[in-house]
Amino acid sequence: MEEEKLERSIRKSEIPGLTREEEEAQLAKVIGIAEQNLEQAKADIRLANEDLADLMETYDAKEAEGLALWNNATAKLNAYQHGMARLEKARKKPYFGRIDFQDPRLSFLESYYIGRVGISDEKAEPVVLDWRAPISSVYYENSTGPCSYTVSSEGTFSIDLKRKRTYEIENDHLKDFFDSDVVANDELLTKYLAKNKKAVLGEIIATIQQEQNLIIRRSPKTNLIVQGVAGSGKTTVAMHRISYILYNYEEDFRPEDFYIIGSNRILLNYITSVLPELDVYGIRQMTMEQLFIRLLYEDWDEEKYMVHTIDARMRKTA
């Protein structure tokens, strides 16, 4: 992906400092960039709305040319709106982690911050990596020392992980940070789980454990069954997996290629209401009953099958 190529091409000759003062300065810098990006997104949306208004004045509703231009302008506006939603997440909490490492092919250390979404400066150089980026897997899966990460279609890269740092940021303020081989300690995880469930979905990106990360990042070209007791996080991991696949395999999968099958409409409504928090839009859903009806409809052969009505007496003996 373009972002991954950028991340490997930028020389990090100066590693951001390790003291609290230096970390606070870095946070302020990143917040400033995120704020600029958000303002630009708002300007783009204003222009897109103006274009739509101009089209309404110029073309009749039934004109083919006008309709085509309208559809293109509407698609552009939707993309801008989804982009602004991502930028709002970045502005609210820019990052939660950081990795410092040595690539054996280079003579200098590299350092990257990791957040819910990627943040780039005006030169399109990444200052925060998206949690779904291939190299971000190092933060979730590895202890300090020699390790590797894989980039689809490019191969596996070996690095020496020097530091893994976790941050607690709230209201643009750096509340705490710590260096650890464990992504989330009990205290940090407890704070996240104390929040309401919709908030937890966004926060849990910062606390994904190694076993969960392996499930989320497994190739989408293999079948996968995840078993667990009620409340163990299966649904949450599944939603993160969809987000990961759409980010890393955008040329192979589109949102409309996915179906979420749930036991009831309440569960499905919950899932689809929080998927946008993971930058996922347009996923289709159905209950098990709807799935069976669809399968029957697609495979129905009137010469082979027939509908047999069951009356009340037959139900009692069934």
Contact 133, 118 (CB under 8 A): yes
- List pLDDT tens digits, range 143-185: 889 999 988 878 899 999 999 998 989 889 999 888 876 554 4
Q: What is the pLDDT of residues 265-288, one digit of tens each?
A: 888 888 888 888 888 888 888 888
In whole angstroms, what is the distance from residue 151 CA to residue 211 CA?
19
Question: Residue 22: which pLDDT band, with cuts at 50, 70 and 90?
Answer: very high
41-85 residue pLDDT tens: 999 999 989 888 888 888 876 777 778 888 888 888 888 888 888
Q: pTM of the prediction?
A: 0.75
pLDDT over threshold 90, residue 128: yes
Query: What are 226-267's pLDDT values in tens digits?
Result: 988 887 888 888 999 999 999 999 889 999 889 899 888 888
Indicate the average pLDDT of the chain. 82
Q: Residue 318: pLDDT above 60?
A: no
Q: How far apart are the first and last CA of the chain?
A: 57
> Is the distance from CB of 83 to CB of 43 less than 8 angstroms?
no
What pLDDT shows up at residue 317?
56
The predicted pLDDT at position 201 comes to 53
| Amino acid found at 173 | H
b vs e for 31-41, b when ≥16 Cβ sit within 10 Å of the residue's Cβ?
Answer: bebbeebbeeb
Q: How confident is the model at residue 196 (pLDDT cuts 50, 70, 90)?
A: very low
Q: Name the residue ranges covered by the structural domains of the chain.
A: 2-208, 216-299
